[in-house]
Amino acid sequence: MKIKLLAVLVTFCFTALCSLTAVAQDHTRNWDNGNVVAVTEVHIKPGMFNAYINDLNNVWRKFIEEQMKDGSVVSYGMFANASAREGEPDLYLTVSYANWAAFDLGEEYFNKIRDNVLGSAEAMRSAGIKRGDLRTIGSSYNLQEVKFRD
């Protein structure tokens, strides 16, 4: 009986010590939100890689660089998947926004950029149709950057 009581007491003490360790963990927030990164996965049709990159240079890049002028876009990038497996994207497009507010600039803001880059809504529709011959879009998602505080 004394051995059972001792075993229960030791188990209780061990459990109490472990729970004190959990309480003593540091839960302070030592990080801040950084940029918001929009990622688009692109599946390029066979033999169309160069044509698609040229299309991005003529339209997408100009559209993004217009947004960089007012600071809503911080940077952008293209990343080729060097060893894409079946079903994986060939290219990742990224756009880093200063914050979530960049997603709420409104239709008027984007129409102005569209008109500066392409000239009209019809030109944008036409470019979109042609782009469909070059690629298909896979997933698109947004990532919130997390930055350590110094």
| Residue 58, in any domain of the structure | yes
Find all residues with CB under 8 Å of 103, minimum gap 6, and list them: 36, 97
| Residue 19, in any domain of the structure | no
What's the confidence (pLDDT) of residue 5?
Answer: 63
| Residue 85, in any domain of the structure | yes
pTM over 0.85, yes/no: no
Whether the per-residue pLDDT at 128 is higher than 60: the answer is no
Q: Quick one: pLDDT band at residue 3, thresholds 50, 70, 90?
A: confident
Q: Quick one: pLDDT band at residue 127, thresholds 50, 70, 90?
A: low
CATH, residue 95: 3.30.70.100
Whether the per-residue pLDDT at 9 is higher than 70: the answer is no
Q: Quick one: pLDDT band at residue 110, thresholds 50, 70, 90?
A: confident
Domain that holds residue 96: 33-148
| Residue 10, in any domain of the structure | no
Is residue 134 within 8 A of residue 55, CB to CB? The reply is yes
Nearest in space to 64 (alpha carbons), one of 32, 25, 37: 37
Number of domains in the chain: 1
Q: Quick one: pLDDT band at residue 114, thresholds 50, 70, 90?
A: confident
| Residue 122, in any domain of the structure | yes
Tokens of 10: 């030791």
Q: What percent of the chain has pLDDT over 90?
A: 49
Nearest in space to 113 (alpha carbons), one of 55, 64, 56, 54: 64
Q: Quick one: pLDDT band at residue 59, thresholds 50, 70, 90?
A: confident
Whether the per-residue pLDDT at 8 is higher than 90: the answer is no
| Residue 116, in any domain of the structure | yes
What's the confidence (pLDDT) of residue 147?
Answer: 94
What's the confidence (pLDDT) of residue 13?
Answer: 61
